[in-house]
Structure formats: C-alpha cells, structure tokens
C-alpha cells in the first residue's frame, strides 16, 4: 500500500524571525541607499519563495533566473534596457524572465511575495 503524501502548507506573512538584510552592490546603485529585507520561506532544488522588502532607491539589475512577484505594499518601477518603464503597486503581479536587464526603482518602500526558479 502506498503511503499518502502529507500536505505541508506555509502562509506567507511577515515572520517573527529577523530578515536577512542586504544592499545592492554599490556599483549598481544609481540613486538612494536602498536596504533589502528578505524572509526566505522555501529553498529547495533551485526554487526559492518568500517575502522581500526594499526601502527607496534605484539600482541596476540583470536577471539570470525566472521570478514571479506579487506586490503587497508600496510602489516600484522596473525599466528595461530599451527605457520602457512599468509601474507596479499593491495588488499587481508580474514575471521577470531570465535575460531582463534594466533598473529597479523603489519609489515607496515595497513589500513583495516572490517565487524564483533558477
């Protein structure tokens, strides 16, 4: 008889545990002094998900991975290498595909849920 798989659920909320605090590479920062807080909930076989928050600032980005984002709070603007900008606010969801090059600008402190596949 086959053993049933146990369903494990984890609600994505700001945990009581302190986040990992990072900053973009100083050479990539265009404006401000952004600070990133990350609560990584899942880290398995190239899949990562959790919550990420950033204070205002602008920095260069270059994605080698696929990422799904859902904005919970704040306003961010992503601008691609062709200078096409998209503004994202609370309630917006989007996908960043490998090869995206541009800038990430946090206008108002932004909190997002993320799923990354490497």
The answer to whether residue 80 is domain-embedded is yes
Domain membership of residue 73 as a residue range: 42-117
pLDDT per residue over 26-54, tens digit each?
A: 999 999 999 999 999 899 999 999 999 99
Average pLDDT across the chain, whole number: 93
Rounded CA separation 14/11 (Å)? 9
Number of domains in the chain: 1
CATH number at residue 101: 2.60.120.10
Query: Strand, helix or coil at 82?
Result: coil
pTM of the shown model: 0.88
Write down the pLDDT at residue 4: 63
Give burial (CB, 10 Å; 0-12/13-18/19+) of 76: buried
pLDDT per residue over 99-116, tens digit each?
A: 999 999 999 999 999 999
Q: How many CB atoms lie within 10 A of CB 59?
A: 21
């Amino acid at each position: 008889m086959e053993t049933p798989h146990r369903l494990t659920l984890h609600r994505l909320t700001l945990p009581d545990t302190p986040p990992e605090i990072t900053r973009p590479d100083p050479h990539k920062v265009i404006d401000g002094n952004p600070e990133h807080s990350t609560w990584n909930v899942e880290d398995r076989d190239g899949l990562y998900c959790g919550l990420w928050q950033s204070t205002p600032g602008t920095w260069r980005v270059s994605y080698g991975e696929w990422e799904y984002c859902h904005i919970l709070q704040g306003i961010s603007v992503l601008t691609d290498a062709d200078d096409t900008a998209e503004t994202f606010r609370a309630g917006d969801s989007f996908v960043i595909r490998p090869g995206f090059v541009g800038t990430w600008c946090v206008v108002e402190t932004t909190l997002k849920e993320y799923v990354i596949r490497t």
